[in-house]
Structure 1
Amino acid sequence: MRQTDVLIVGAGPTGLALGIDLARRGVDALVVERGATLAPGSRGKGLQPRTLEIYEDLGVLDAVLDAGGPYPVGMIWQDGEQAGEHRMFDPAEAGEEGSRFTGPWMLPQWRNQEILRARLTELGGAIVFGHELTEIEQDAEGVTARFASGGPVRARYAVAADGGRSAVRRALGIGMTGETVDPDPLLVADVRITGLERTWWHVFPPAGEGTGFLALCPLAGTEDFQLAAQFPDGTDLAPLLGPGGVREVIAARTHLAAEDVTEVRWSSSFRPRAALADRFREGRIFLAGDAAHVHSPAGGQGLNTSVQDAYNLGWKLGAVLGGRAPAALLDTYEEERRPNAAAMLGLSTAIHRGEARRGAKTRQLGLHYRASSLSEETRPAPGPIRAGDRMPDLTRNGTDWTVVQQEDGVFLVRPDGHVGWAGTTERDAREYRARVGFF
């Protein structure tokens, strides 16, 4: 039986980001993936400013910036003619909310995963492919997982990062509460096309009754376009998932011919929905990413919220496993992340339904943990930055806590960049430091 400190089930962005965070803290973590390779497809292609800050700390920002690019402006088409521009995102100023990142950065999810995998490997971590989870159980000392092939794994803790249909969540009997955001299904695909400018995100409104919108977005850093095509409720998309079906859809709803689609590299379908796990923890097993919350793709919040889950949990597991903090620190993971995930689910749904814009909230720089039991504000007159807030422009102290002294107080900043304690002198933080493992 293989032994490890943390078993991470799922090698998507959530599991890989968590694996990186643990590896750089010296934690023995094993990432297992049921597929034979990393998942294909552009899928979640937008990285928000807060995620870029996290990626900088994880050591992958340069690779992400080199491989991706900014989002293009939308171009609306009518009857084969360009009818006008459409701005997908509200503009942001440089330095807004204390970040040098001003808007989403496009990076196809398959490339994102490759970059994260390379960083994990660089840090000595590994992924074991072809391991489909069949059983998971726990006792007072740890977790035992069994798979369809390969031997069992014994870990002190386990993290379900295995997506919206999480086998771990189902095995634990944790329910999800949610709703269908839109009954109309979507066909998505990565395609290569000749004769279509890569300057624009091309949007084709519904051509008539019984159709929906179609969009072709040039994927930064590649030769591909991401296709998204909406269909009426009840449409069987299975016959359209092959190359011929994808070409047929594009030819029917745009000025392009089927032969202009030179390659169909990946395709899938889904119905937009929003769902939140009833709890994010069962004993020594945690839920993260899509295993804990499923978003509409509108607004680009799903992948980004998932990476923040990993970033929140990583330092806490590292501190507990390293003997620097009591196990009670892990209780704050669900306390902090579930309310934030619920808020982002609501935002994604509102954007999908046209009730909200892609603006400051989607950039995720303002998310905070003020209500957390881990946040202590002891100043009689708090300033604009309070306990629980993200500390802007933070010069990090490696993977540890950081002391920041400013005109309006002293801040103990957590390894994930949020203020844990705020007061007037560092001496007053002794009790807090002992409780959270900041010595």
Structure 2
Amino acid sequence: MRKTVRNDVADPGTEVLVVGAGPTGLALACDLARRGLHPLVVERAPGLFPGSRGKGIQPRTLEVFDDLGVLDEVLRLGGTAPVGMAWRDGTRLGEHRMFDEVRATEQAPYVGPWLLPQWRTQEILLARLRALGGDVRFGQELTELTQDAEGVEAVLVAAEGGEARTVRARYVVGADGGRSTVRRLTGIKMTGERVDATPVLVADVVITSLDRDHWHMFPPAEDGSRGFAAVCPLPGTDVFQFVGQYPQAREELTADDVRALVAELTHVRADEVTEVRWASDFTVNAALADRFRAGRVFLAGDAAHIHSPAGGQGLNTSVQDAYNLGWKLAAVLRDGAPEALLDTYEEERLPNAAAMLGLSTSIHRGRARRGAATRQLGLHVRDSSLTEEHRADIPEEGVAAGDRAPDGRRDGVRLFDLFRGPHFTLLAVDTDLPEQLPALPRLRTARIGAYASYGRGLFLIRPDGYIAWAARSAADAPALMAWSKQVAGPTGLIPADA
């Protein structure tokens, strides 16, 4: 019988236990750490995920990475998506654009998708977490989970046969993937469908006979005898990501299996695949957890929603789960916000995840193309209970409460620089700030001149970059004070010149 050791003393004051060190768990841990919390991050594997799987980073996620302080590294180590090149029997059929060409604008400075292998994204996030004083405990498997009114007890077992130990935390976040142990232990079900019955193999390979200027596409045979394949160069590496329809999934994949499938689906010979660095196969499913919260336990990322890789929405939706949840956990744990604030995580993220699932499935089945929706800049929380709009006549060019707050430069202020960090921002556009400000921790304020992308008014920007509250002028300040009690409690007023 395995002995269980209580570990409350070894982990004093664990506020949030994050299970899983993929992009979701690491992004959440970074967000919590920069807000002064000390999350305990555990990962069953002995190290970071080694593959390139989620390689496309959408513009909205680039904005998140800007705020988290990792954008420079993401841009330095990644690259734009290359032009597609279609092949048939070793003959080039011609180039085609994989994505709509979009130019950067003042309001949306980042375009995409930006290609970066998933393993490198995780390395960047882990380095940021360590710079913030956090880390990951690898080789720790969650086996039991129980909760009460005050917290959650989790039993962790070392992968190398160590003793089981119990850790107590105020909250637990399951960011542990599509086969989530946290989801299973909380009894949350998933509802979904099989998107494609044909298994898919994805592998990181070195190929000597293909140029690195194109995303190489190999259409399926017209008679159905051969499936689809794609070979994409991964920026900053000597590796291609190979994706191919797989005749039959196998319990174990060898390098020779990968080479054989590359040769079967493309004109590349098996001996031209000089290295196979990572490989995995899967069947394309779409599924959504029935709930994203069970008491003090939350689901995020693939633990909450499983996508087709078509359209590049899975990793991006997952990182934005973390970005939504991080500031809310910190508001409750650090700033005295009512616990009901945490209910808005599921309220906001479940509909967004459902929409992105539907988009991914439609793209996979050829019913939609990769366009504006895949960039995720149009996602909003207008229907959230946290969103209040007090203007009756919103300009056609302007944004509404619940929309993403656009970037821009006015009167020497870059808005994304103003918004960056773990705070709310009260922005007065072509009007005055109120004399009294809501008691929101670390609130920043700014006044700028006319800007059509907003329209005239007052705008309270949430820590995750969405407009929480909007009104015409300082005369609406009492409504802002009432709204602020949802995220800070009834703690009084702050003078505008404080």
* Same fold (TM > 0.5): yes
Contact 2:207 2:272 in 1 (8 A): yes
| Correspondence 1:99 to 2:108 | yes
Distance in 2, matches of 1:138 and 1:416, equals 28
Equivalent residue letter for 1:173: G
| Correspondence 1:131 to 2:140 | yes
Partner of 1:38: 48
Partner of 2:449: none
- Structure 1 residue 131: deviation in Å? 0.7
| Correspondence 1:415 to 2:463 | yes
Residues 64-109 of structure 1, C-alpha deviations (whole Å, 9 max, x = no match): 011110001110001211111121111212218x211122100000
Residues 236-275 of structure 1, C-alpha deviations (whole Å, 9 max, x = no match): 3446x21111111112232222111110000000011100
Distance in 2, matches of 1:258 and 1:72, equals 24
| Correspondence 1:307 to 2:319 | yes
Contact 2:287 2:306 in 1 (8 A): yes
SS where residue 63 of structure 1 aligns?
A: helix
Residues 155-210 of structure 1, C-alpha deviations (whole Å, 9 max, x = no match): 00110000010000001110000001111110110000112100011111123533
| Correspondence 1:201 to 2:215 | yes
Contact 2:249 2:282 in 1 (8 A): no
SS where residue 465 of structure 2 aligns?
A: coil
Q: Which moved more, 1:208-217 or 1:404-413?
A: 208-217
Distance in 2, matches of 1:25 and 1:184, equals 44
1:375 pairs with one of 380, 387, 405: 387
| Correspondence 1:73 to 2:83 | yes
1:406 pairs with one of 429, 445, 468: 429
Partner of 1:86: 96
1:357 pairs with one of 369, 383, 389: 369
Contact 2:419 2:461 in 1 (8 A): no
Distance in 2, matches of 1:424 and 1:374, equals 18
Residues 22-64 of structure 1, C-alpha deviations (whole Å, 9 max, x = no match): 0000012111000000111001000000000000000000000
Contact 2:244 2:265 in 1 (8 A): no
| Correspondence 1:236 to 2:249 | yes
Contact 1:211 1:231 in 2 (8 A): no
SS where residue 185 of structure 1 aligns?
A: strand
| Correspondence 1:64 to 2:74 | yes
Contact 1:210 1:231 in 2 (8 A): no
SS where residue 146 of structure 2 aligns?
A: strand
Partner of 1:424: 472
Q: TM-score, normalised by structure 2?
A: 0.85
Contact 1:90 1:357 in 2 (8 A): no
- Structure 1 residue 333: deviation in Å? 0.4
Equivalent residue letter for 1:430: M
Contact 1:52 1:101 in 2 (8 A): yes
Contact 1:187 1:270 in 2 (8 A): yes
Distance in 2, matches of 1:312 and 1:170, equals 23
Partner of 1:253: 265
Equivalent residue letter for 1:7: L
Contact 2:425 2:460 in 1 (8 A): yes
Equivalent residue letter for 2:134: G
- Structure 1 residue 398: deviation in Å? 2.5
Partner of 1:216: 231
Q: Do the aligned partners of residues 238 and 215 (structure 1) sit closer, same or farther apart at CA in structure 2, a change above 3 Å counting? A: farther
Q: Which has the higher contact order (CA 8 A, sep 6+)?
A: 1
Distance in 2, matches of 1:178 and 1:397, equals 37
Distance in 2, matches of 1:47 and 1:79, equals 32
Partner of 1:186: 200
- Structure 1 residue 420: deviation in Å? 0.6
Q: Which moved more, 1:39-48 or 1:394-403?
A: 394-403
Q: Flag the structure with larger Rg.
A: 2
Distance in 1, matches of 2:125 and 2:315, equals 13
Distance in 2, matches of 1:253 and 1:430, equals 62
- Structure 1 residue 127: deviation in Å? 0.4
Contact 2:152 2:169 in 1 (8 A): yes
- Structure 1 residue 436: deviation in Å? 1.8
CA RMSD of aligned residues (A): 1.3
Residues 336-389 of structure 1, C-alpha deviations (whole Å, 9 max, x = no match): 000000000000000000100100000000100000000001122233211111
SS where residue 400 of structure 2 aligns?
A: coil
SS where residue 36 of structure 2 aligns?
A: coil
Q: Which moved more, 1:357-366 or 1:374-383?
A: 374-383
SS where residue 398 of structure 1 aligns?
A: coil
Distance in 1, matches of 2:420 and 2:367, equals 41
SS where residue 391 of structure 1 aligns?
A: coil
- Structure 1 residue 397: deviation in Å? 5.3
Distance in 2, matches of 1:372 and 1:81, equals 52
- Structure 1 residue 278: deviation in Å? 0.2
Equivalent residue letter for 1:406: V
SS where residue 87 of structure 2 aligns?
A: strand
Structure 2, unaligned stretches of length 5 or more? 1-6, 159-163, 408-414, 431-455, 494-498
Distance in 2, matches of 1:110 and 1:252, equals 27
- Structure 1 residue 323: deviation in Å? 3.0
Distance in 1, matches of 2:278 and 2:421, equals 39
SS where residue 271 of structure 1 aligns?
A: strand
Distance in 2, matches of 1:285 and 1:44, equals 25
Contact 2:24 2:301 in 1 (8 A): yes
**Identity, % of aligned pairs?**
62
Contact 1:91 1:359 in 2 (8 A): no
Equivalent residue letter for 1:194: T
SS where residue 343 of structure 2 aligns?
A: helix
Distance in 2, matches of 1:135 and 1:306, equals 24
Contact 2:192 2:288 in 1 (8 A): yes
1:388 pairs with one of 396, 402, 405: 402
Residues 258-305 of structure 1, C-alpha deviations (whole Å, 9 max, x = no match): 111110000000011100000000001100000000000000000000
Contact 1:176 1:278 in 2 (8 A): yes
SS where residue 124 of structure 1 aligns?
A: coil
Q: Which moved more, 1:87-96 or 1:261-270?
A: 87-96
Q: Do the aligned partners of residues 400 and 324 (structure 1) sit closer, same or farther apart at CA in structure 2, a change above 3 Å counting? A: farther
Contact 1:187 1:237 in 2 (8 A): no
